Structure 1
Amino acid sequence: MQVLSVISTKGGVGKTTIAANLGAFIADAGLRVLLLDLDMQPTLSSYYELISRAPGGIYELLAFNERDLACLVSRTTIDGLDVVLSNDEHRQLNTLLLHAPDGRLRLRNLLPAFQPHYDLVVIDTQGARSVLLEMALLASHQAVSPVTPEILAARELRRGTLQLVEDIAPYRKLGIEPPLLHLLINRVPAVSTNARLIQQTLRLIFKEQASLHVMDTEVPAIEAFPRAATKGEPAHRVEYRRPSGRLAPAALEIVRQLAHELYPQWREPFDRVTGKSGGRLAHV
């Protein structure tokens, strides 16, 4: 089972959009995907309609070490895509985990309960430095950090997200290797000299940094993603062909490229997703 966290210490960079669309695409490719919503503003929990809602969620998982999937896991209308809902209404988890001896490692220790049932866990996180964010990173094999091509976002990336990765490095002494951080340039405008300059600068600055990979995939600022979110559908189902006259590829191809780059071992089922039927391929 692979574990991917979508992180940033800055809010509003598109973490939930990336997590929801990547998870749904991979589920449509026939793999079993679980979304974990660790954000205090539970947008991911309501991104897709549910066909069954579990009595518990993230709070029961992390506060009580609950391992019963029937208590934790809600099912979405997308076949193969489940979610553990954010339900820490009183925002107690950060304080609880801060004072717990295993706080930053709790999720890492609980995830084996999900391993027989899922191929991929995608963790959405809050846009601020917290114990929950550190915990998500320490539980992950890979992490994706969306950054918009704006100077303030670039500064926050270095000051916040990259510092966070450095700060958890001492866990190597416990045999826990921090995940490789993938920098995803997100919401790239079609025409902007300033945005293009920032993109090029980000690639140059981080090119030689061993713990950071600047992804080849870039997500353009196309209308398909907010339109799909409004409909409660994955963007690859809403826009599976590139509109006439637009240079940017269709949402289907953008999400497919992102999935290819993160999980090349699943390339074959990814290539079979058309987005047209919204159906799920046979599990491979």
Structure 2
Amino acid sequence: SRFTVYGPFVDQYTYQIHPITCGDLITAYVVFGLAMCFAILAVFIACQQTQRSRVPLKSLYVWMIWLEIVASLGLALLAFSYLIKVLRPSLYFYLGIVVSQLRVIYQVQILLQIICNRINVILQDQKKGTLLCIGTFVLVSIINVSVGIIWIPACLQISDRRVVFLAVVWIRVNTIWDRTEKVLFFLLDAALNWYFVRVVKRNLIGNGMEKYRPLVRFNQRMILISLLMDLLIIGAMSLHNGFVYAMFHPLAYLVKLNIEMSMANLIMKIVVGT
């Protein structure tokens, strides 16, 4: 078969390619189609928000939303191309998947920074908001770097013939840490969104600005959907094919990005009083 591993650091005789079943392909096509629908919607909203920005090239928010869209599309195309056997497994392929998620740091980093930016807009203490952004950036960066260090050797099934158990160790550590990482991001996402609602209630509604109450109600509903996306990724980890599981990441991230951009639109409408 032409669909074999190639490139450095992998042994084409011992490398095991996970079989791709009909069920895997059906799931991949459905998830890829949904991801493309949300990508189109995200591009539409992003174009509107970019046009409204006075200096889009200097806007950190504009850069973050476009980088998130590009990163999500890159990961979706790479994983889908592998599943339909257009791309073969190799060091370059796995590095491509990691690089496709690197926009600022990673996709999750961008989404969480957008939430921090939303909180920072409302916080009265800007120093506290800056520390929140930096603290989130450092924490997520540490987690993402550790994931990259563990994930690539596990996927390449790297091992020395003299130390056969090394590949097994990488794979087991990757399995445990991957799940731990997703739970940590779930908790961090929930904490930041809860803090946003708390800040709005205390700093705005608590001071008689009742026009922000719809923002709180909308955010509380969207938090549920956003956290469901995190749970969707965690649930997809039970799938036997890791690349089908990877397809759920772009879908979840694009849904969450649409939520964040819709939140930004609502905040703008409330602020201008329309």
Interval of TM-score (by shorter of Structure 1 and Structure 2): under 0.3
Greater fraction of residues in helix: 2
Instruction: Choose between structure 1 and 2: higher strand proportion.
Output: 1
Asked which structure has the greater CA Rg, the reply is 2
